[in-house]
Structure 1
Amino acid sequence: MVAAGHIRVAGRRVTRASAAVHAGETIVLPVGERIEVIRLLALPLRRGPAPEAQACYVRLEPELPAAS
């Protein structure tokens, strides 16, 4: 997904899987037929269980285009 340019971090298209991310940044990525927008609250200190990882981000509602 990164190589195809489908992921954005802080509004910039990510072209490397090793791109740095920081707490407070917004990440936009496609998941199936929908777009997920998440705000990174903190970086986890270790690779741990899912609930620990889920505490590090919050899902946001994607902005819909304005109706004309």
Structure 2
Amino acid sequence: MARGAGTSGPPPSASLRADKWLVFARFVKTRAIAAEIIESGHLRVNGAKVKKPGYGLSVGDVLTLAYADRVRLIRILDLAERRGPATEAQQLYQDLDASPPLE
């Protein structure tokens, strides 16, 4: 299919910006907070440090997220199109390590 003939890139479910996913999954309240966490080096995707809020996350990626005196290990199960209720957000990920707060 020719460019501009109804296609605007990859399917929307292929990947989602890291800052948006963190908001949609309710780890943070705003994209600005998510961007700050990411830019300060507190996010790893599949073991690699990510510093760009626009980094594309995909289903199956494993995130290591250090914030609010915790380190969370999360596997992405689904991508969302919006920030929904908490019950919906919990379906987006699997918590691989329910670690207690750091002291």
Please tell me the TM-score bracket, short chain as reference: 0.7 to 0.9
1:14 aligns with 2:50: yes
> 1:12 & 1:48 partners in 2: Cα distance?
28
Please state how far the C-alpha of 1:60 moved relative to its aligned partner. Answer: 0.8
Q: What is the CA deviation profile of residues 14-54 of structure 1, one whole-angstrom value per residue up to 9, with x for unaligned ones?
A: 11111100001101111322210100001124332121111
Match of 1:43 in 2: 79
Give the counterpart of 1:27 among 44, 55, 63: 63
RMSD, aligned CA: 1.6
> 2:45 & 2:90 partners in 1: Cα distance?
18
> 2:68 & 2:79 partners in 1: Cα distance?
25
1:58 aligns with 2:90: no
Structure 1, gaps ≥5 residues long: 63-68
Number of aligned residue pairs: 62
Q: Is the 8 A contact 2:42 2:67 kept in 1?
A: no
- TM-score, structure 2 length as denominator? 0.54
> What letter is aligned with 1:11?
G
Structure 2, gaps ≥5 residues long: 1-36, 99-103
Higher Rg: 2
> 1:46 & 1:5 partners in 2: Cα distance?
25
Q: Structure 1 residues 4, 31: CA separation in 2 closer, same or farther (over 3 Å shift)?
A: closer
